[in-house]
């Protein structure tokens, strides 16, 4: 199983403010969807609550230390069903919500999948990088600094090599550019 981090990161390392993105970048949202569709996405509880719904076409695994955590009901008031670790997981890209209490259990649970995307927040990214669990980073590197309260963790760039970069220049509507960059773990 390949474990990939997906994040949009400002020039100054910021990734969020008040459980939201500090920028509006439709190209990044489309890239994120295209990249993760059909694969499990693993996120912390705060990240899930900031989205406030399961991402369609993906198994949404939410990490929470609270074994009784449950997502908010759907807009029509219908409770959302949750698969709790270690119950059997569905195959494919069905829209489902699953919960686990820690990262190692969640990754073990997802081991039958070809690829898993870690989509936030900063604590999850830090934990995965510290435990050497990440095979690749897929970053939207934004060429602008933003104010925020959540940052992407420092990472050892010697452990990864850049394998792809797609440059997007500034436009009249957006005064700053950004790059989609893929970093692969260096084989030891």
158 in a structural domain = no
CATH number of the domain within which 101 lies: 3.40.430.10
Distance CA 181, CA 160 (A): 12
111 in a structural domain = yes
Mean pLDDT score of the chain? 95
162 in a structural domain = no
| Confidence class for position 122, pLDDT limits 50, 70, 90 | very high
Cβ neighbours of 11 (radius 10 Å): 13
182 in a structural domain = no
| Confidence class for position 188, pLDDT limits 50, 70, 90 | low
Of 149, 148, 179, which is closest to residue 163 (Cα–Cα)?
179
Tell whether the torsion through CA atoms of 132, 107, 85 and 126 is positive or negative. positive
Residue pLDDT, tens place only, 3-61: 999 999 999 999 999 999 999 999 999 999 999 999 999 999 999 999 999 999 999 99
The number of distinct structural domains making up the chain is 1
8 in a structural domain = yes
Residue pLDDT, tens place only, 88-103: 998 777 789 999 999 9
Cβ-count burial of 125 within 10 angstroms (0-12 exposed, 13-18 middle, 19+ buried)? buried
Give residue 113's domain range. 1-71+79-120
Tell whether the torsion through CA atoms of 25, 153, 131 and 158 is positive or negative. positive
Record the pTM. Answer: 0.95
46 in a structural domain = yes
């Amino acid at each position: 199983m390949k474990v990939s981090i997906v994040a949009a990161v400002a020039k100054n390392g910021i990734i969020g403010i008040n459980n939201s993105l500090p920028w509006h970048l439709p190209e990044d949202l489309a890239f994120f969807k295209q990249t993760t569709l059909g694969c499990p996405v693993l996120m912390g509880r705060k990240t899930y609550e900031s989205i406030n719904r399961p991402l369609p076409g993906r198994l949404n695994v939410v990490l929470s230390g609270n074994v009784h955590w449950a997502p908010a009901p759907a807009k029509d008031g219908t409770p959302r069903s949750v698969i709790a670790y270690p119950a059997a997981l569905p195959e494919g890209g069905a829209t489902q919500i699953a919960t686990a209490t820690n990262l190692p259990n969640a990754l073990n649970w997802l081991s039958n999948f070809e690829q898993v995307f870690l989509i936030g927040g900063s604590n999850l990214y830090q934990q995965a990088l510290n435990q050497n669990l990440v095979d690749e980073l897929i970053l939207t590197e934004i060429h602008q600094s933003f104010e925020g309260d959540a940052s992407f963790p420092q990472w050892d760039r010697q452990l990864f090599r850049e394998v792809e970069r797609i440059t997007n220049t500034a436009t009249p509507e957006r005064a700053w550019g950004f790059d989609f960059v893929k970093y692969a773990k260096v084989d030891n």
